[in-house]
Structure 1
Amino acid sequence: MNRPELLFGCVLVKLTGTGAERFLNLSAARGIEIFDVRKGTGECLYFFTSPQSFKDMKPLAKKAGVRLRIQKKSGPAFLLFRLRKRLLFAAGFLSFFVVLWFLSLFIWDISIEGNRMFTEETLLHYLETIPVSCGMRRDEISCSRLEEAIRNQFPEITWVSAEITGTRLRIQIRENETPVFETAPDPSPCSLEAASDGVIVKTVVRNGIPMVKAGDTVTEGQLLISGTIPIYDDSETLVNSHNIRADGEVYARTERSVRFSFPLSAERKSYTGSTRFGLHLELFGHSISFLLPDLSQPSSWFSFLTKKESAGSWDVVSEQHQLKLFRNFYLPVYGSVITAREYVPYEEYYTKEQIQDLCRDRFQTYTENLTEKGIQILRNNAKIEKDKSGWQAEYVLSVVEDIAKEVPILEKQEEIQTLHEHY
């Protein structure tokens, strides 16, 4: 017999009264199922029935003159009813693991290690063109194809290793510190001309015919080293010429000028001492921020409750972190703690001493760049002036630099004539 408690539950009923036999007969006549009937003390009986049958028994119990009282409820229906307050918790607990399982199917973090020549932004931008990016399914990424694509795109990268662990794509690379390709020298013939005016200090000729010497004053565009070699006969008559690629350095004393401009004033910050903290959360591209009022300032609480903005501005500093459950199980959730400091902006006018300090720093950076290019600085003259638009600083430098620049040899006749006049 299929007992009703297997599906809908059952109740243990206590029957008291003298009409027990009549009640049982009435129940049997109505088709109400009763099972596990046991004799209790005195005129008491115990039996099991279904919840619906118990409701149907009430008119029969009144007719038979007996009293029915439920002693125990059992079965899935009553268990769920008792746990109804905990169902929400159980559903949330189960949903948590379902969401974790779903998120584990995707890549939520891409780390690149060993890169020095190429920035992480450059490599990530290239990965997006493949495309490989956060939010992709793990099974859509082939590590072997990804390694091959990176090596083909960046010849300077000699070794690539890509692996997926958890929700993280880890890419390790090794770069070649020496250039992979060497630029082949240009074989076309050329001469060297002056890139600027100056007085020749020294010439170093490796290939070609020098046209100037130390102490000569040259102008921009003047021929310094000729790439046209004259050919003479026995009577020293110019009969032909041969073009080569001139090579060498011609150092000259030249002048350079540089100007720096600064405004009359700069915006400064006067901090009020008020500090606020908050949280910033970002999930699937959507973000929310919450900033608490300053706990030490009662007026800040009033402004917060009345939504009245303060007169000052705020310096906001935050450091973002990606949420992860385990070492390699990253989630698409980012959080950061916000620290905001209130300040009042004001204008401060520069003094000449402050401008001199700014010019000194700017000029030092400029001269360091010149020195890296092999330019020797002999002396400099500075002039700082103030006008309506701001401060203007001009530096005039006397330097020694290589002024030779390559120019292709196009007209042989002009070169021959120049050589003929030189000799």
Structure 2
Amino acid sequence: MLRKMINGLRGSVRLEVSGAFPERFLNLCAQNGMAFWDVEWLEATRLRLTLTRAGGRAAPELAGRVLCELSRVKTGGVPFFLARFRKRYALLVGLCLSLTAVLVLSRFILIIDVEGNETVPTAQILSELRRQGLRVGVYGPGLDERDLAHEALLQLPDLSWMAINLHGTRAQVLVREAVKKPPAEDGSVVGDVVAESGGIVSHMEVLSGEAVCQEGDTVAAGDVLISGSVKLPGPKYGGGVDLGWSQVRAAGRIYARTWRTLTAQVPLEAQVKQYTGSEETCWSLTFLGVRTVFSRNSGISFPEYDKISRAWTAALPSGRELPLTLKCETVREYVTVPAPIDRAAAQALLEERLELALRAALGDGEAVSTAFSAAERDGMLRVTLQAECREEIGRFVPAQGLPETAAQEPQPEV
């Protein structure tokens, strides 16, 4: 492999030697220190061999000594390749510019990859990096990766770590997201657990406080389920005197059977688009973040229109995209006209939306049974969902003040 590279750099010539004694030509080449290889005998008086570029220039003189004739079969290597451009000045200039562009552009950042983020948007990270100086087209050796990552990390509190690695024209940004601590309940705030909605209590889990209701009781929204006022009984032989009341933060889970009614409606007649046939096309080229518009008029003269965008981004054979994008935007004018809707499709859509809204409202709860009803009134299609659910209805409410029983101090009996 190394020998092939050396021969390619210095050039090689494939010659055909014909004469009465072509082996004498080989002897002269060896005596004069000329390297040759790949000797191929075609006939007794004819052979082929490969010489270096310098040996090819001296070969005609040696062949004349032994009365042999030479003919060049082919040439190869860098010197012969460059020699093709001696009279092709435009190609020579293009080759020089291409080499210069490769050497110069390889020093600039053309691609920025962000890896490791899940919840923090990539656009937010790239925006902050651009503000700090890392963007497509910036001179790579002039960047301080450590300071840049540190400054960007201070502006992104949702990230806990960032590292920037430069690989030629590619900047690799590695990030780790911060793990947020779950909110802790303030134990110093006392209060009650009240019903967020009415229903029939089916299960109770009291963690602190005193239960006010029992399983099977019917409660209304706002009723106290677990009281934060706990009565402290006195000692067994204390004469029946209680120790008073203690205020705590009531906590627990109260599950109940509830009934929910959700309604959604849609007009029976909708406005649809009707295209007029008028179109405008705008071409633009974006290179290193700089956008150039080729259309004469980049404005849109239509009051109502649809925009269809198509973009072609240059990419390397490996599939990695380059900062060169050609974009075509087509604008189509339309007017709106009334048209009746498909009632069955509209009802199915509303039922699906109501089910999604019910699941979002229940959270960890579940719907035991559901029933839909549909009616048309005043040009509207109204769909109603009635559901029987099992859900947690308790929510904590801070106490506004101590109850009278808690404010009274126990009086010993006389």
Q: Which residue is equivalent to 2:218?
A: 217
1:262 and 2:254 aligned: no
2:204 maps to which residue? 203
Shift of 1:353: 1.5
State the distance in 2 between where 1:326 and 1:109 align.
15
The offset of 1:225, in angstroms, is 0.4
Query: Partner of 1:231 in structure 2?
Result: 232
What are the superposed Cα offsets for residues 317-358 of structure 1, whole Å, 9 maximum, x if unpaired? 52442x356869975421257799999976531132122111
Report the CA distance shift for 1:317/1:153 in structure 2 as closer, same or farther (over 3 A).
Answer: closer
Quickly say closer, same or farther: Cα 1:105–1:403, change in 2 above 3 A: same
> Using the alignment, how far apart are the partners of 1:98 and 1:265 within structure 2?
65
**Alignment CA distance shift 1:174-1:96 (3 Å):** same
Q: Does 1:119 align with 2:109?
A: no
Q: Kindly tell me: are residues 315 and 263 of structure 1, through their superposed partners in 2, closer, same or farther at Cα, counting changes over 3 Å?
A: farther
- Structure 2 contact 307–329 (Cα < 8 Å) conserved: no
CA distance in 2, matches of 1:415, 1:167: 76
- TM-score, length-normalised on structure 2? 0.60
Q: Secondary structure at the match of 2:187?
A: coil
Q: Are the counterparts in 1 of residues 153 and 161 from structure 2 also a CA contact under 8 Å?
A: yes
Change (3 A) 1:334 1:256: same
Match of 2:310 among 307, 310, 318: 318
Partner deviation per Cα, 1:354-413 (whole Å, 9 max, x = no partner) = 22111122123223434543243433443433424x433333333222121111234223
Q: 1:360 to 1:255 in 2, by over 3 A?
A: same
Pairing 1:369–2:371 present: no
Query: Which residue, out of 249, 253, 269, partners 2:253?
Result: 249
Offset of residue 112 of structure 1:
0.9
Maintained 8 Å contact 2:351/2:372: no
Matched, 1:394 2:384: yes
Q: Distance in 2 between matches of 1:381 and 1:357?
A: 10
Indicate conservation of the 8 Å contact 1:155/1:180, yes or no.
Answer: no
In 2, Cα distance between equivalents of 1:384 and 1:129: 56
Q: Paired residues, what number?
A: 314
1:70-219 aligned within 5 A: 103-149=105-151, 160-175=162-177, 179-188=179-188, 189-219=190-220
Change (3 A) 1:375 1:213: same
User: Identical aligned pairs, as a percentage?
Assistant: 24
In structure 2, the CA distance between the partners of 1:363 and 1:108, relative to structure 1 (3 Å rule), is same
Distance 1:325 1:370 in 2: 49
Q: CA deviation at 1:209?
A: 0.5
Over 3 Å counting, the alpha-carbon distance change for 1:404 and 1:372 in structure 2 is closer
Q: Which amino acid aligns with 1:198?
A: G
**Between 364-373 and 212-221, the greater mean CA deviation after superposition:** 364-373
Cα distance change, pair 392–210 in 1 and its aligned pair in 2 (3 A): same
For the Cα contact (< 8 Å) 1:111–1:169, is it kept in 2? Answer: yes
Q: Report the counterpart of residue 334 of structure 1 in structure 2.
A: 325
Comparing 261-270 and 398-407, the one that deviates more: 261-270
Measured in 1, the distance between the counterparts of 2:306 and 2:223 equals 60
How far off is 1:170 after superposition?
1.3
CA contact 1:168–1:330 (8 Å) conserved in 2: no
* Counterparts of 2:349 and 2:363, CA distance in 1: 22
- Aligned partner of 1:300 in structure 2 is none
Q: Which runs of 5+ in 1 are unaligned?
A: 1-82, 291-308
Q: Report if aligned partners of 1:104, 1:329 keep a CA contact under 8 Å in 2.
A: no
Distance 1:270 1:378, change over 3 A: same
